[in-house]
Chain A
């Protein structure tokens, strides 16, 4: 069952947009959403351990793969990082990769929110991205 609500997808998009502001190359911009996940990893692993993060991301990847089958090429390593991302990036168009990254991030945040609630999920995100200009999943300031 997908955890991705339109609200969460929008949040993931805005989060990715915020993160991409610091990235200049079109190559890395395509994988910004994946970088957001990676940036969350130490913070969430501090809470739930590497195994906990790994389990959550693996589940998010499985859910996201239904919507974006290309993601099936990826898998999650024991430390919670994504394997085969370089290979996927080499084969995919940047615009597709960027969209697939958002799908994965949406599922990951949706899962986290399903388990610990939106409030705590947002706090986790803010720990990893302390300069985010919004403090609510519905906050539209970033979109402007």
Chain B
């Protein structure tokens, strides 16, 4: 026992090195929702960073958010303005955002205009003024906005070496003074190669504004951040009342719990369908319900949610086509009182129809709702509506985004039922237009078939990942109880999946819903 304890207490040489010699870099909050996750935890303290973008991307707003999030009277933020947006206009605009705290202005956040100096003096004088102000204020955050105008002035008045020397001295001084620095500037990507500034900088945050057809989307990329593992790629950002909000491509689910391993089966609220699925849908699975309009996809989705509520599992319905009232009304006709659950806070209906959403923003809405109600079940009705709600620029990435979204949510243990509308072709049985079936664990296909002069409905379980399932094509009806699968068919048909079957045996049963006689 003693020996065991010694072994536990002993550290390997690697661990020793880690515990003795390694510096832990403190990470400052960015003040931007979602950005810390993208940055790998926050902004490295004492780092020297560039916020670069073309006009209108939100550089100044981002810099303000960082300043206001970190500034205190003891460790203020110094915000040097240089020939960019006039400081008074900047204040006028920035105070519209919720993060702007007027009480901090002057003491915790101090604005200093360097325009006159930059216009009238050389770089050395500008540097000396920054040194003077920083030495006097002892700031935790320093922003120079726009640093690009300093560089432009230098290009006219000084040589390249002077400029490099200025940047190097500035970086060394500010880091030595234990300030975390942000140089804000208007740059285009081509400038990265030949610009010393980008070599010296520890962090490079690049913002984009992409116009596609009628919509504009803003994106952010952490091109560089020394000493920290950031989330790669382009992340959607949006400027709203709270300032910038970033939507990580990992959807904020890094490190969240993994899929449940117990393999519990969840009922869809339709006993016969549960049997077809081998006992229900596996917890943490993604189920795709595909079928043409009117086949009962939304009804099935409602029953799935309602069954969860009956079993104490909260739910979210993200609907993109039908109005929430329609949903609640239909559920009412099935005897399901969704409004009770909504009142109790165990069900939330998200009606998402703006036309310039990104998948990540939608995801954030859904994740927030999941967090609010502790949801175990999620309905997305429908993927077609979802795609239409996206900005055109995001539609090209719909499949990839959907892959990330479903993977992230099911990884977090949420069971998802998505619907997708497909046309019945009467020659084939497509699952969707998007070739997204690989994204889902399970697929149920609903379709119309013409039998004896009636357009009836059938469903079949196409796929059940990691489990056996019924291969039967089952007829169903939509009654005042919702989707009801009727007794197994006794009459044999061939080519049922084509929608135009041929009866190959004796007719053994009457139509499930009466035929018109007059």
Q: For B106, give the chain A residue with the smallest CB separation.
A: A123
Interface size on B, residues (CB 8 A): 16
What are the residues of chain B within 8 A of A126 when measuring CB–CB? 106
B92/A52 in contact, CB under 8 A: no
Interface size on A, residues (CB 8 A): 19
A50/B92 in contact, CB under 8 A: no
Cα–Cα, bound, A47→B87 (Å): 6
Q: For B95, give the chain A residue with the smallest CB separation.
A: A117
Cα–Cα, bound, A127→B87 (Å): 17
B89/A49 in contact, CB under 8 A: no
Cα–Cα, bound, A134→B342 (Å): 49
Kindly identify which residue among B89, B92, B105, B116 contacts A123, using a CB–CB cutoff of 8 Å.
Answer: B105
Asked whether any CB of chain B lies closer than 8 Å to the CB of A124, the reply is yes
Cα–Cα, bound, A116→B496 (Å): 72
Cα–Cα, bound, A46→B111 (Å): 7
A51/B116 in contact, CB under 8 A: yes
Asked whether any CB of chain B lies closer than 8 Å to the CB of A119, the reply is yes
Kindly identify which residue among B88, B95, B105, B112 contacts A52, using a CB–CB cutoff of 8 Å.
Answer: B88
Q: How far is the CB of A137 from chain B (nearest CB, A)?
A: 13
B116/A49 in contact, CB under 8 A: yes
What are the residues of chain A within 8 A of B81 when measuring CB–CB? 49
What are the residues of chain A within 8 A of B112 when measuring CB–CB? 46-47
Q: How far is the CB of B79 from chain A (nearest CB, A)?
A: 10
Asked whether any CB of chain A lies closer than 8 Å to the CB of B102, the reply is yes
Asked whether any CB of chain A lies closer than 8 Å to the CB of B72, the reply is no
Q: How far is the CB of B126 from chain A (nearest CB, A)?
A: 13
Cα–Cα, bound, A50→B112 (Å): 11
Given contacts A116-B88, A116-B95, contact A48 B102 (CB under 8 A): no
Cα–Cα, bound, A3→B91 (Å): 19
Given contacts A120-B102, A123-B102, contact A115 B92 (CB under 8 A): yes
Cα–Cα, bound, A117→B101 (Å): 12
Asked whether any CB of chain A lies closer than 8 Å to the CB of B437, the reply is no
What are the residues of chain A within 8 A of B95 when measuring CB–CB? 116-117, 120
Cα–Cα, bound, A64→B92 (Å): 23
Asked whether any CB of chain A lies closer than 8 Å to the CB of B470, the reply is no
A49/B92 in contact, CB under 8 A: no
A116/B115 in contact, CB under 8 A: no
Cα–Cα, bound, A45→B81 (Å): 12
Which residues of B, 60-97, contact A by the 8 Å Cβ criterion? 81, 86-89, 91-92, 95
What are the residues of chain A within 8 A of B115 when measuring CB–CB? 49, 51
- Mask for B108-152, Cβ within 8 A of A = 1, else 0? 000111011000000000000000000000000000000000000
Q: For B117, give the chain A residue with the smallest CB separation.
A: A49
What are the residues of chain B within 8 A of A50 when measuring CB–CB? 116
Which residues of A, 90-144, contact B by the 8 Å Cβ criterion? 112, 115-117, 119-120, 123-124, 126-127
- Mask for A66-84, Cβ within 8 A of B = 1, else 0? 0000000000000000000
Cα–Cα, bound, A116→B92 (Å): 5
Cα–Cα, bound, A119→B100 (Å): 12
A49/B91 in contact, CB under 8 A: no
B113/A52 in contact, CB under 8 A: yes
A124/B106 in contact, CB under 8 A: yes
Kindly identify which residue among B89, B102, B111 contacts A119, using a CB–CB cutoff of 8 Å.
Answer: B102
What are the residues of chain B within 8 A of A117 when measuring CB–CB? 91-92, 95, 102
B105/A48 in contact, CB under 8 A: no
- Mask for B365-385, Cβ within 8 A of A = 1, else 0? 000000000000000000000
Given contacts A52-B87, A120-B102, A127-B106, contact A47 B92 (CB under 8 A): no
A120/B116 in contact, CB under 8 A: no
Which residues of A, 46-68, contact B by the 8 Å Cβ criterion? 46-52, 56
What are the residues of chain A within 8 A of B102 when measuring CB–CB? 117, 119-120, 123
Q: How far is the CB of B119 from chain A (nearest CB, A)?
A: 9
What are the residues of chain A within 8 A of B116 when measuring CB–CB? 49-51
Q: How far is the CB of A110 from chain B (nearest CB, A)?
A: 14
Residues of B at the A interface (CB closer than 8 Å) are 81, 86-89, 91-92, 95, 102, 105-106, 111-113, 115-116
Name 10 A/B residue pairs within 8 A (Cβ), A-sorted.
Answer: A47-B111, A48-B86, A49-B116, A50-B116, A52-B113, A56-B88, A116-B95, A117-B95, A120-B91, A123-B106
Question: Given known contacts A48-B88, A49-B81, A51-B115, what 15 new A-B pairs fall within 8 Å (CB)?
Answer: A47-B87, A47-B88, A47-B91, A47-B112, A49-B116, A52-B86, A52-B113, A112-B88, A115-B91, A117-B91, A119-B102, A120-B102, A120-B105, A123-B105, A124-B106
The 5 closest A-B pairs by CB, nearest first: A49-B113, A119-B102, A49-B115, A48-B87, A116-B91
